Amino acid sequence: MPDSIDPALPERFPGRTRKRAGTDLLAADVHARLRTRILTFEIQPGSRLVEDEISASLGVGRTPVREALLRLQGEGLVSRRKGWVVESTDADCIDRVFESRVAIEGYATRLATLRASSADICDLMALVEEMDGFDTMSRAALNQLNRAFHERIVTLSGNPFFVEMHERTQFHYWNMRLPVLFTREQAVMTNEQHRLILGALSSGDPDDAERHARAHVATTHRIVRDALDG
Amino acid sequence: MPDSIDPALPERFPGRTRKRAGTDLLAADVHARLRTRILTFEIQPGSRLVEDEISASLGVGRTPVREALLRLQGEGLVSRRKGWVVESTDADCIDRVFESRVAIEGYATRLATLRASSADICDLMALVEEMDGFDTMSRAALNQLNRAFHERIVTLSGNPFFVEMHERTQFHYWNMRLPVLFTREQAVMTNEQHRLILGALSSGDPDDAERHARAHVATTHRIVRDALDG
DNA sequence: TGTTTGTTCCTTGCGTGCAGCGCACGGGAC
DNA sequence: GTCCCGTGCGCTGCACGCAAGGAACAAACA
């Protein structure tokens, strides 16, 4: 997989600037780059990551590369099995991921009901309405909006733990290549459910909000599973 | 929990053995040691950790120490603010931790209801009955049993994500020195609630199980908050 | 006296050399 | 032909040195 390590960014880090702005910038940068490449499948699951190659290709030493890999390991994106290997999310894992999402997003939505301001709800409504234009949008754009909606609700829970846990599940979620997501009817259903959640949110009914959120995640689970089986 | 963490940690690392058994042993060991010391408050929240000092005191190089600290950072036990600092869990954080526990343990208990075998339930029942002897036990032993009960249920969810998330909350949970936990009446109430959960588990009622689990965590939350306020 | 600047030390960020696992490959024996 | 063992190499685990950044303290100037 060395070839896939972004041929397009030959020397950033110009002449070994070594700019060290307080906290480790290099490691953070390497981490971000690697993570992006992994999540976009530019580096495929299962491929080996060699410290020297990354370090050479990015023009940094092995130490920041090492730290980046360590962080990726903590995020569950790579593992150390006789060298660094990009983790893959198998079908069996999907059920586990969605179970987590039900628990996390369900309760986060409950909390959001108690804490969201009317301005927050307006923002969410704007997102939902934007998603109504699914007929004229790319699936990627739709996906982005969808993600934004869920992310924002979780953030509105006001609890950073939920944000972190949610983010963690997203890694694995992205990690399975979702074949065809967001057919037209799926988009319709998604928007319907988003409106249900939003309705509960704005009427301040936590039970309803949690119930709808759970149902929505369950629906998505079903869609994903069907897509993978079919 | 702190009491149970093996306070007897004499100087291992005899004369710089350097035995490298495949995967990094040193880093893992340093990590475990540091974590133990932090969770037992041998190293107090807020204190600075200096890489050189740790490395010298353990007789290893800075690299494994660094990796250990990085892992601790990932676990939320230390942070990097101009050097390594042991995180403290402030009162404000407690509410967030318990919110997570409600979501995680609640849903984990629901899953456990669907997946636990009768043998598993017997094991749990044995734990509960052992806890009935609270009058003749130390608080530490009681705490240990309590932890075992919760841990086992989360494990019975069959979902490693829940186990990991639960463990994560426990770190912060331990991180606040709980003053007087498990007074007699609290022990009575705890056992009552454990039995309710177990009852729902054995009768296979997921809704009830989740409800009771949530209520139990909420009760504990109240106890802890009272203990900290009073 | 207050503010600003210079200096020094402390600690981490980073690079790098070295050595030891393990795996793959190849050669010999049965 | 198959199995076993030796050997080489790829890669990581670890130690260590260097320098940058920042904080604290001191000194000088307004």
Residues A10/A53, Cβ–Cβ less than 8 Å = no
Which pLDDT score is estimated for B170? 84
Top residue of B67, B81, B89, B100 to mutate, by most chain A CBs within 10 Å, is B100
Cα–Cα dist B197/B213, whole Å? 6
Residues B59/B16, Cβ–Cβ less than 8 Å = yes
- Alpha carbon distances (Å) from B213 to A145, B101, B158, B195, B216: 35, 10, 17, 10, 5
Which pLDDT score is estimated for B13? 34
Pick the CATH number of B91-229 from 1.20.120.530, 2.170.8.10, 1.10.3720.10, 1.10.1370.30: 1.20.120.530
Cα–Cα dist B171/B161, whole Å? 16
The reply to whether A12 Cβ lies less than 7 angstroms from strand C is no
- For residue B67, give the nearest of A70, A111, A157 by CB distance: A70
Burial (Cβ within 10 Å: 0-12, 13-18, ≥19) of residue B163: middle
- For residue B160, give the nearest of A22, A23, A96 by CB distance: A96
Contact: A169, B161; criterion CB under 8 Å: yes
Top residue of A161, A162, A173, A211 to mutate, by most chain B CBs within 10 Å, is A161
Chain A residues whose beta carbon lies within 8 Å of the beta carbon of residue B66: 67
Chain A residues whose beta carbon lies within 8 Å of the beta carbon of residue B113: none
- E strands of chain B, at which residues? 48-49, 78-80, 84-86
Which pLDDT score is estimated for B90? 75
Instruction: State the Rg of chain B over Cα.
Output: 19
Contact: A99, B162; criterion CB under 8 Å: yes
Contact: A99, B161; criterion CB under 8 Å: yes
Residues A111/A162, Cβ–Cβ less than 8 Å = yes
3-class SS of residue B85: strand
Residues B176/B94, Cβ–Cβ less than 8 Å = yes
CA dihedral B210, B212, B218, B224 (to 10 degrees): -120
Domain boundaries defined on chain A: 9-86, 91-229
* Tokens read off for A187: 């988009």
- For residue A159, give the nearest of B100, B108, B162 by CB distance: B100
pLDDT digits (tens, 9 = 90+) for A195-230: 999 999 999 999 999 999 999 999 999 988 887 776
Cα–Cα dist B4/B143, whole Å? 9
The reply to whether A18 Cβ lies less than 7 angstroms from strand C is yes
Please, which positions of strand C sit below 7 A from a protein CB?
Answer: 10-17, 20-23
Pick the CATH number of A9-86 from 2.60.40.150, 1.10.10.10, 3.40.50.720, 3.90.110.10: 1.10.10.10
- E strands of chain A, at which residues? 48-49, 78-80, 84-86
> Which regions in chain A score pLDDT beneath 70?
1-23, 174-181, 230
Contact: A103, B67; criterion CB under 8 Å: no
Shortest Cα–Cα distance, B133 to chain A (Å):
34
Chain A residues whose beta carbon lies within 8 Å of the beta carbon of residue B111: 99
Q: What phi and psi values does residue B86 have, to the nearest 5 degrees? A: -75, 125
Closest nucleotide to the alpha carbon of A48, via C1'? D11
- Cβ of B97 under 8 Å from any chain A Cβ? yes
For each of chain B's 230 residues, which pLDDT tens digit applies?
333 333 222 333 333 333 444 467 788 999 999 998 988 888 988 899 999 999 999 999 999 999 999 999 988 889 998 899 998 877 778 899 999 999 999 999 999 999 999 999 999 999 999 999 988 988 888 888 998 999 999 999 999 999 999 988 887 776 665 555 678 888 899 999 999 999 999 999 999 999 999 999 999 999 888 877 76
- For residue B103, give the nearest of A22, A80, A107 by CB distance: A107
Q: What is the pTM of this model?
A: 0.83
